[in-house]
Amino acid sequence: MATAQATPARPVRAGARRGPLAALRDRPAAAKLLLLALVAAVVVPVVHGRWGGGIWPDALTADLSAPLGDVTDWIVSNRDSHPLFLYFFGHISNAVVLSVRGVYLVLLALGWAGVTVFAAAVAWRVAGIRLALTAAASFLVCGLLGMWVPTMQTLALMVVAVLASVVLGLLLGLAAGLSDRVFRLLRPVLDTMQVLPAFAYLLPVVLVFGIGVPGAVLATVVYAAPPMARLTALGLRGADAGVMEAVASLGATGRQRLLSARLPLARKELLLGLNQTIMMALSMAVIASVIGAGGLGDRVYQALSSVDVGAALAAGIPIVLLAVVLDRTTEAAGRRIGAEPTGPALLRGWRGWSLAAAVTAAVAVAGRATDGRVWPEDVTVAIAGPVNTAKDWMVDHLYTGVPVVGGTADLASHFTSGVLNPLRSGLTGLPWWSVLLIVAALAWTIGTWRTAATAVLAMAAIGVLGVWEPSMDTLSQVLAAVAVTLVIGFGVAVGAARSERLERLLRPVLDVFQTMPQFVYLIPVVALFGVGRAPAAAAAVIYALPAVIRITTQGLRGVDPAAMECARSLGATPGQQLRQVQIPLARPALLLAVNQAVVLVLAVVIIGGLVGSGALGYEVVLGLAQGDLATGLVAGAAIVCLGLMLDRVTQPTTRRQRQES
């Protein structure tokens, strides 16, 4: 009922004379800023006099390294004896290890031929013959690159993590979908979890489970379950009220209503949730190599730490192929819902599935008979060597001294010295209270006082944790990368919105880019720019661009055609149409694009710690590498705060609108 009550339109006052207060009431943003300025005028002199300007004052920090160190020491020393670990975490850990091991053994038992045929058969059943061929080719390429075993390791971890995520997500989603109270409770948590960088999840898991497969799987589950829960809840709640009423009118019990109507009606959302969960699980399973996940991610991680681009690429390609195959297959399954079954009647439904199973079994048995369980070692193509030769050539010829454009290394160093450094020194040079003020002003003008309070508190928490400086460093990289992303992204999107052909060209590129895990983007930038902060920013830009371009293009294209037609009929030039109609009407989409850019860029900038971007990401890596979990945990908490702050500052009222719809 509450949703039905629309906010009453503000009465338009005809009177020309209005007091300044009335004018402020009509412009809430100005009123908020004025109020904030008043508060600042009173508080700032006091605060400044007491603690001074510059970076966050030491007097206001709480040194958590000692207590955190105690906690980690306690956990490490009690991990094998304390009942909590023995009877709870221990069992979880064992179960995870056993199931990953089990799946891995099954994959090995199927043999390379069996796995390939199985993947192709599943893809054929859900998505058609073309995707089946893609899947088969992808797995063969994985084998050819000599990556069969790591691919199977990653796949085994993925299978377990995805199953656990889906079960957990479904349960949470069911609860939130059927109970308003759970939904209100869960929704902000899930929304926030979705904007946090993957790195933030690693340390708490390591703290409890130590480095290894169980920690990696659980971090993946925590990271990948929220989209499933979120979409399940939204799908269940979004069930067509008319259908639900009709079902109730026929006398269905609560259970019948859920099983025969509400769940089937939410099938699209459920499959979308599955798709997102799989993609996020893959992304995290690769990143979790930092905490001992093994598999493909580990190969990339090892190769990157010795700047061996060739080896990194050999492991990176299977990741991309896995991502594409998994994404396309689940996506196709979602698209096929409600469509007429196609193909010969003999192959429909269970007949097709049993045929697929039979073929897989036959091939697996044949594979075993010919001893083809592991990919034959002499049928591999070693691409690492040639790639590294090419990379050396690039280092020699492209890094510096390219006429006109300059070299890539030159570009990177210019970007570092010309943009990143001034930005960083500017941010650290700003009085700490002014940073809080700016955050408050930004968050309050586009959101509510709640979002502003959250953002300011998150920022202050960073200061209290004593990681103000590295956080400002990370923030400077984020801001620079976001600026570049938005300039390029909006430019391309305006073009794509206007030219059908450009959009058609871009679409498959964006599709592929959007499916790749964050980690993979580090490989090409290291090849092009070396290591440092600029490559991390470049990877962030590449990672965030597709989403920005896509959201903006859709926003511009989604503008009410009647409004556009009206503008054209009045003789507006394309530029006028863009400025006066498209951009104002697409404002929600543009704001969403900014929000997404910030969230995605932050995620990759943090991972950039692996390729020498320093700052918070590096502290996490360092903490992990040296077993100094206290440092890592503090940095992880700062990442959470930074993510929270950045999201709230760029989060327009869309969230509220979404809740109402």
- Residues forming contacts to another protein in the complex (CB under 8 A) are 1, 240, 242-243, 245-253, 256, 260-261, 264-265, 267, 337-338, 340
- Alpha helix (H) ranges present in 558-628? 561-569, 574-576, 583-585, 587-607, 615-626
Backbone angles phi, psi at 67, to 5 degrees: -60, -40
Q: How far apart are CA 122 and CA 299, in angstroms?
A: 28
Nearer to another protein, 109 or 246 (CB): 246
Q: How far apart are CA 530 and CA 272, in angstroms?
A: 37
**In whole angstroms, how close is the CB of 251 to another protein at the nearest point?**
3
User: Measuring CA to CA, which residue among 559, 628, 521 is closest to residue 73?
Assistant: 628
Nearer to another protein, 334 or 406 (CB): 334
Helix axes 180-195, 213-237, angle to 10 degrees: 130
Contacts of 281 (CB under 8 A, 6+ apart): 158, 161, 162, 165, 220, 221, 223, 224
Contacts of 646 (CB under 8 A, 6+ apart): 478, 598, 599, 602
Residue 330 tokens, joined: 């689940």
Q: How far apart are CA 439 and CA 441, in angstroms?
A: 5
Nearer to another protein, 251 or 508 (CB): 251
Nearer to another protein, 258 or 357 (CB): 258
Residue 394 tokens, joined: 């690039």
**In whole angstroms, how close is the CB of 196 to another protein at the nearest point?**
35
Q: How far apart are CA 313 and CA 319, in angstroms?
A: 10
Q: How far apart are CA 379 and CA 386, in angstroms?
A: 17
Q: How far apart are CA 360 and CA 388, in angstroms?
A: 38
**In whole angstroms, how close is the CB of 135 to another protein at the nearest point?**
27
Nearer to another protein, 4 or 59 (CB): 4
Q: How far is the CA of 397 from the CAs of 66, 532, 536, in angstroms?
A: 50, 20, 22
Nearer to another protein, 246 or 382 (CB): 246
**In whole angstroms, how close is the CB of 246 to another protein at the nearest point?**
3
DSSP state of 338: T
**In whole angstroms, how close is the CB of 349 to another protein at the nearest point?**
13
**In whole angstroms, how close is the CB of 32 to another protein at the nearest point?**
30
CB 556 within 8 A of CB 563: no
**In whole angstroms, how close is the CB of 6 to another protein at the nearest point?**
15
**In whole angstroms, how close is the CB of 243 to another protein at the nearest point?**
5
Nearer to another protein, 242 or 561 (CB): 242
Nearer to another protein, 253 or 342 (CB): 253
**In whole angstroms, how close is the CB of 263 to another protein at the nearest point?**
10
Nearer to another protein, 35 or 243 (CB): 243
